[in-house]
Each structure stands twice: as structure tokens, then as C-alpha cells.
Amino acid sequence: MATQLFLNLPVKDLQRSVEFFSSLGFSFNPDYTDENATCMIVNDNACVMLLVEDYFRTFNSKDVAGTAGAAEAIMSYSVDSREAVDEAVRSALATGGSLSEDPRDLGFMYNHSFQDPDGHLWEVFWMDPAGMADPAAGSTSGAVPS
């Protein structure tokens, strides 16, 4: 069983990405940061490594996915309230992100999506754990973000 998650994402401009994600409240581990990469802290057990595209290419032989016309993944993260979902998307849009999808309200879960400056898809969600078990809340057993 895994104890930590490190997601690696290619970026065109590392400084722009750091500024963008800093505006969303993320911090960075200076021990894993240089001109080629930075470690964005999601929580104690999950990080996103933002790697300059040329450096990212040194880890595999595949081409870097073009995010303009295709989705390679959707990164989802939770926040503490519906208001925090909207605030995260407002911050993303104000600092170079773009709207990905309109908000979805499922009663027990509320989510909204944006693209970062490199076109990676991010979904921010709030979920009421008590609502998931309540059929009156319109929930579906096993429903997850996205």
C-alpha cells in the first residue's frame, strides 16, 4: 500500500506555475525546488511535482501531452466549504487560469473546475460526508468527484 503520492506535471514556465498555485494557497518544499522543478505540497502525504517540460521529458520516453485539445487527467482536491470551492476558482481565474466546467451541485457534493496556465484540469470540491449516506440528499452510492 502506498504511503505517499507524488504526481508529476509538466509546465512551460515554472515561476508562473509557482505564482499561480501560490495564489490558490498551496506552498512549496524548498528542499525539492530548483530551476527545473518544484514540489507543491497538497498535504502531508500528497505532493505535485511541477517539472519544466524539458526536465519532465528526462523521466520518460513519451511525448508531453498537449493539453489544448485533450485531457490527460483531472486533478481533484477537496476544500472545507462550498464558498471555498468558489473562492479557489475565482483565484484561479484571476491569476491566469481558465474556466473548465460550470459548477455542479449534487446536494451532498459541490464542485467546480478550472484549467491552470498549462491547460491541466483541476477540480475543486466540497463534500458533506453525512449527505452521501442520505438518499434524500440525492446522492448515489459510491459517487466521487468528476
Q: Is the pLDDT of residue 115 over 50?
A: yes
36: left (phi over 0), alpha (psi -120 to 50) or beta: alpha
The pLDDT tens digits for 56-98 are 999 999 889 888 888 889 999 999 999 999 999 999 999 999 9
Task: Give the lowest-confidence range in 12-16, 47-51, 69-73, 87-91.
Answer: 69-73
Distance CA 1, CA 60 (A): 24
The CATH fold of domain 1-57: 2,3-Dihydroxybiphenyl 1,2-Dioxygenase; domain 1 (3.10.180)
Superfamily of domain 72-146 in CATH is 2,3-Dihydroxybiphenyl 1,2-Dioxygenase, domain 1 (3.10.180.10)
- Band of the pLDDT at 35, cuts 50, 70, 90? very high
Residue-level pLDDT at 69? 85
The model's pTM is 0.83
Task: Round to whole Å and give the CA distance between 71 and 27.
Answer: 25
Which residue's entry shows cell 460526508? 129
